[in-house]
Amino acid sequence: MNKKLLLALGMLPMLSIAQITFTNSNTLLVNASLTSGCAIGVSDMNGDGLDDIIRLDDARNLQIEYQTAGGGNFTQYNFGSVGGSQWGLAIADVDENGYNDVITGGAYNGVKVIKANSDGSLYTSTTLAGSIFMQNVNFADIDNNGSIDIFACHDDGVSVAYGNDGSGNFSPNNGLINAVSTIPSDNSGNYGSIWADVNNDGHLDLYISKCRLGVNDPNDGRRVNLLFMNDGTNNYTDEAATRGLAPLGQSWSANFEDIDNDGDLDCVLINHDITSMIFVNDGTGNFTDITPTCGITGELASLGSGGIQVVMEDFDNDTFIDIFITMRSGIHHLFKNDGDKTFTEVSAPFTLPTGPSRIQSAAVGDLNNDGFIDVMAGFATGYNGPSSDPDVLYLNDGNTNNWSEIRLIGDASNINGIGARIEIQGAWGSQIREVRSGESYGTMNSLMTHFGLGTATEIDAVVVHWPSGSVDTVSNPNINEVLVIEEGQTLSTESFSSQTIHISPNPTNDILNIETTSNGSFSYAIYDLSGKQVQTETVLPASNQININHLSNGIYIMQLTSQNSKTTHKIIKE
């Protein structure tokens, strides 16, 4: 399979600064009358580098609308019925043929993987083994073997993992993760699910929002949220209560992003019988509720039983993550991040069509390739019933703030780079994002990571921490472009001798000797598994020794640079 680096895309024309607003752009769509249920998606499906729209008309008829270059009209592929009303949707290239595939499912109507052929012109559907009431679904490399797996929330029992055989064929395998309730129960009530590295150890963890209608005891295991922490060796342990993410409410969905740009992932949780909540991370995966001081306490409390999805993106490109919450009843909310762990509600960012009072379901991405995040919105009824009101494509009106968008192509890791963490460094400090497939509830957002830069005119570096453990660093990339990074593109293996280095205790000091075949000096940088740089220096060939006395025992990534070549090494200090 060819995984060649794609060309960066064009510059964004400067726009005027304005409040966050969106314009109804349904005239660009082929099917402007489509009515979705809850599941809705945005992702590049045909490999052209542009985000496309994936929807289920009447919650069951799969249609893909492909974005055309230049922000013009869309074109359409109509797959047809997938059989029964669908609740969950996720997208990834499961067989790594260069074209993304779809998983979808609902209430005991089959979990279906809909795969693209070798040129992306045709899709075929396969129903996986087992019968479940599938709510949310994710693609994730659960065992980190380079092939993407499936995690499907089951409303009426324990959720199901499906292992990938390496060729895009799946079978049930709860040996990957057995997501049983910590409080003994029938394991029902699994609604929203999201994979994220919450404690910065380089391993994906899993959070499940639990809700069981009619169960009023807050300590009932059917409605106590689960946070499965990954120790890196395929062992998962629920630590939701000890880490502060089990508020004992009927929780519908959650999302994790860094709201204060301090290098860790914070959480927004949608609850139905207690107030919805915002939690900040202390950097080690322990969370504190900041809802009382976040500035939107009343709005979060008023969500009641209406909140469905939570989307977290920088909609105005000011470097801070905003919060968008969709609603089953009431009215949706867009909260602008004030940059100090408080938020302000944006007044009327969307002009609603006649009839709907709120957006119920939405997926986001850059749907006209202008560097601002757009919204594909639906107006379902109940929890998943299509209404008579057509979906609306809302294009972001934008402003003069700068931006960067990054697409990944994995090699040792899965081809989409799902599970990778991206950090950009500049005058603002740093920002982080993770690549995910399926999040919140029924939502598939773009696999492209998006960063607002505010008024900054340059980026110092983009650092990609791949699931494989390798690290790519791109220095001083252009702004206002889509940057495509292929795993290993900044690395070379010809200059240095060792790939895994074990350092045993030394009575006097710990010295790392480096052999290099290159002429001239070389430099090194050492990072911990969270991506934090802990040591950097230029070393002359005369010494070729690195003093690492100050490093605690543990695992580190060392990047060595000689002239124009780079390589990474894993350091295990014992």
CATH code for the domain of 510? 2.60.40.10
pLDDT of 499 reads 45
pLDDT of 33 reads 97
Paired strand residues for 269 = 254, 277
State whether 79 and 131 are in the same domain: yes
What is the 8-class DSSP label of residue 447?
S
State whether 324 and 428 are in the same domain: no
What is the 8-class DSSP label of residue 437?
B
Helix (H, G, I), strand (E, B), or coil: what is residue 291? Answer: helix
Whether the per-residue pLDDT at 8 is higher than 60: the answer is: no
Q: In 226-267, which residue ranges form alpha helices assigned H by DSSP? A: none
- Going through 85-140 in order, the beta strands assigned E by DSSP cover 86-92, 101-106, 112-116, 123-127, 134-140
State whether 281 and 233 are in the same domain: yes
Q: What is the CATH number of the domain that holds 108?
A: 2.130.10.130
Pick the closest to residue 193 from 251, 143, 237 (CA basis): 251
How large is the average pLDDT for residues 265-271? 98
Helix (H, G, I), strand (E, B), or coil: what is residue 301? Answer: helix
> Quick check: is 307 in a domain?
yes
Strands 236-238 and 226-230: antiparallel
What domain range includes position 420?
403-486
Q: In this predicted structure, which of 6-20, 34-48, 58-72, 422-436 has the lowest mean pLDDT?
A: 6-20
State whether 277 and 408 are in the same domain: no
Helix (H, G, I), strand (E, B), or coil: what is residue 73? Answer: coil
Tokens of 564: 């124009």
Helix (H, G, I), strand (E, B), or coil: what is residue 27? Answer: helix
State whether 149 and 253 are in the same domain: yes
pLDDT of 414 reads 97
State whether 354 and 408 are in the same domain: no
Q: How many domains are contained in the chain?
A: 3
What's the rounded Cα separation, in Å, for the pair 416 and 406?
Answer: 12
State whether 207 and 333 are in the same domain: yes
> Quick check: is 12 in a domain?
no
pLDDT of 366 reads 98
> Quick check: is 512 in a domain?
yes
Q: What is the mean pLDDT of the chain?
A: 89
**What pLDDT digit, counting tens, does each position of 460-496 carry?**
999 999 999 999 999 999 999 999 999 988 864 333 3
Residue with tokens 């993106």: 313
What's the rounded Cα separation, in Å, for the pair 416 and 407?
Answer: 8
State whether 221 and 289 are in the same domain: yes
Q: In this predicted structure, which of 72-86, 146-160, 513-527 has the lowest mean pLDDT?
A: 513-527
pLDDT of 72 reads 81
> Quick check: is 360 in a domain?
yes
Residues constituting the chain = 574
CB 382 within 8 A of CB 30: no
Choosing from 384, 402, 420, the residue where a domain stops is 402
- Going through 132-188 in order, the beta strands assigned E by DSSP cover 134-140, 149-154, 160-164, 170-172
Q: How far apart are the first and last CA of the chain?
A: 39
Paired strand residues for 429 = 426
> Quick check: is 15 in a domain?
no
How large is the average pLDDT for residues 446-464? 97
Choosing from 402, 435, 465, the residue where a domain stops is 402
CB 523 within 8 A of CB 536: yes
> Quick check: is 388 in a domain?
yes
Q: What is the CATH number of the domain that holds 425?
A: 2.60.40
State whether 368 and 247 are in the same domain: yes
State whether 429 and 343 are in the same domain: no
User: If pLDDT is split at 50, 70 and 90, which confidence band does 6 have?
Assistant: very low
Distances (CA, A) of 143 to 133, 151, 158, 383, 551: 24, 12, 19, 33, 29
Query: With 0-12 CB in 10 A as exposed, 13-18 as middle and 19+ as buried, what is 181?
Result: buried
> Quick check: is 495 in a domain?
no
Strands 565-573 and 500-503: parallel
What is the 8-class DSSP label of residue 358?
S
User: If pLDDT is split at 50, 70 and 90, which confidence band does 13 have?
Assistant: very low
User: If pLDDT is split at 50, 70 and 90, which confidence band does 565 have?
Assistant: low
Whether the per-residue pLDDT at 4 is higher than 80: the answer is: no
State whether 418 and 378 are in the same domain: no
Choosing from 353, 368, 402, the residue where a domain stops is 402
Give backbone dihedrals phi and psi of 55, rounded to 5 degrees, phi first: -135, 160
Question: Within 13 Å of residue 516, how many CA atoms lie on the same side as its CB?
Answer: 26
Tokens of 192: 């929203």
State whether 357 and 412 are in the same domain: no
Distances (CA, A) of 451 to 310, 316, 461, 476, 483: 18, 10, 13, 15, 11
Whether the per-residue pLDDT at 449 is higher than 70: the answer is: yes
Distances (CA, A) of 223 to 187, 208, 247, 307, 404: 9, 10, 10, 16, 39
**What pLDDT digit, counting tens, does each position of 490-542 carry?**
864 333 333 455 555 555 566 666 655 555 556 777 877 656 677 777 665 55
User: If pLDDT is split at 50, 70 and 90, which confidence band does 556 have?
Assistant: confident
Higher pLDDT, 495 or 280: 280
> Quick check: is 8 in a domain?
no
